[in-house]
C-alpha cells in the first residue's frame, strides 16, 4: 500500500501537464455551452416556447396600458386607440395572437400532466382532460366574440 501522495509530472500530447495526484484523480466536469439548445430539436422547441412567451407578457403589458388609458378619461383613450390602429400595432397584435394560440395549445396539451381528476374510483383519461380544456376554450372564445360583435 503506497499511501504517499506522489505527483506524476507527465504531460499529454498537447504538452499540457496532467495534474494527476495518486489516489486523487481529477473529475472532469463538462461545461454547458451557451448554445446548448441548438443541437437538439427538443431543446430548440423548448427554447422557442420559452422565448415566445415574451409576446404573451407584452400583451399583458398592453392590456394594463389600455386599462390605464381608460381610467384617465376619454382623451387618453382616444390617443390609445389611435396608436393601436397603426400598421405596426396591427402586425404586432397578429404576431401576439399567433403565439398566444400556440401557447394555449401547448398549455392545454400539458394540462393532464399536472391535474389528476377522478370520477369515483376511475381516473379520467388524459385525452378527456385535454378535450375539456379545448372545449372550454372554444366556448369562452365564442362567448367573448359574441359579446364584442353584439356590442
Partner 1 sequence: MESVTLQVLRYLPEEKSEPFYQDYDVPFQKKWVILDALNYIKDHVDGTLTYRWSCRMGVCGSCGMMVNDQPVLTCETFLETYLPGPIRIAPLSYFAVIRDLVVNTDDFLGKVKRAKPWLITDELKPVTEGEYRQTPDELKEYKQYSMCINCMLCYSACPIVGLDPEFVGPAAVALAQRYNYDSRDDGHGQRNKILMDDDGIYSCTLVGECSVVCPKAVDPAGAIQRYKVTGAVEWWKSVVMPWKSDK
Partner 2 sequence: MTRYGPDEHDVLIVGGGGAGLRAAIAVAEANPKLKIAVISKVYPMRSHTVSAEGGSAAVIKSNDSLDEHAYDTISGSDWLCDQNAVEEFVNEAPKELLQLEHWGCPWSREPDGSISVRSFGGMKIKRTWYAADKTGFHMLHTLFQTTMKYDRIHRYDEYFVTSLMVDDGRCQGVVAIELTTGKINAIAARSVILCTGGCGRVFPYTTNANIKSGDGMALAYRAGVPMKDMEFVQYHPTGLPFTGILITEAARAEGGYLLNKDGYRYLQDYDLGKPEPKPVLRSMELGPRDRLSQAFEKEHEKGQTIEGPFGPFVHLDIKHLGEDVINEKIPFVRELCLKYENIDPVKEYIPVRPVVHYMMGGIHTDIHGATPLEGLYAAGEAACVSINGANRLGSNSLTECLVFGARAGKAAAENASQGKSFSRNLEAIAMDEGRRIEKAYLSNRSGKTKNSESIVTIREEMHQAMKDGAGIFRTEKSLKESQNAIQELQDRLLRTSIGDTSYTFNTELTSAMELSYMLDVAEAVIQSALKRDESRGSHQRSDHPGRDDDKFLVHSLAYKTEKDLPRIDYLPVTITRWPPGERIYGR
Binding site for partner 1 (CB under 8 A): 8, 10, 12-13, 16-20, 25-30, 32, 36-37, 39-40, 42-43, 46, 50, 110, 113-116, 121
Give residues with Cβ within 8 angstroms of 18, minimum separation 6: 8, 10, 11, 12
Q: In whole angstroms, give the CA distance from residue 129 to residue 103.
A: 17
Identify what 23 binds: partner 2, partner 1, none; CB under 5 to 8 Å per kind.
Answer: partner 2
**Contact criterion met (CB below 8 Å) for 85 and 79:** no
Number of residues that bind partner 2 (CB under 8 A): 7
Give the contact letters, 3-32, x = binds to partner 2 (CB under 8 A), - = no: x------------------xxxx-------
- Using a CB cutoff of 8 Å and minimum separation of 24, what contacts does 81-86 make? none
Binding site for partner 2 (CB under 8 A): 1-3, 22-25
Amino acid at each position: 500500500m503506497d499511501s504517499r501522495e506522489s505527483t506524476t509530472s507527465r504531460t499529454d500530447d498537447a504538452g499540457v501537464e496532467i495534474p494527476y495526484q495518486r489516489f486523487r484523480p481529477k473529475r472532469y466536469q463538462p461545461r454547458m455551452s451557451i448554445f446548448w439548445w441548438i443541437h437538439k430539436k427538443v431543446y430548440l422547441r423548448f427554447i422557442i416556447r420559452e422565448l415566445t412567451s415574451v409576446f404573451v407578457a407584452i400583451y399583458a403589458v398592453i392590456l394594463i396600458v389600455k386599462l390605464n388609458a381608460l381610467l384617465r378619461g376619454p382623451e387618453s383613450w382616444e390617443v390609445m386607440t389611435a396608436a393601436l390602429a397603426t400598421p405596426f400595432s396591427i402586425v404586432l397584435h397578429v404576431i401576439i395572437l399567433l403565439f398566444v394560440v400556440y401557447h394555449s395549445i401547448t398549455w392545454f396539451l400539458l394540462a393532464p400532466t399536472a391535474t389528476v381528476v377522478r370520477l369515483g374510483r376511475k381516473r379520467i383519461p388524459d385525452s378527456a382532460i385535454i378535450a375539456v380544456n379545448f372545449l372550454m376554450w372554444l366556448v369562452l372564445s365564442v362567448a367573448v366574440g359574441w359579446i364584442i360583435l353584439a356590442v
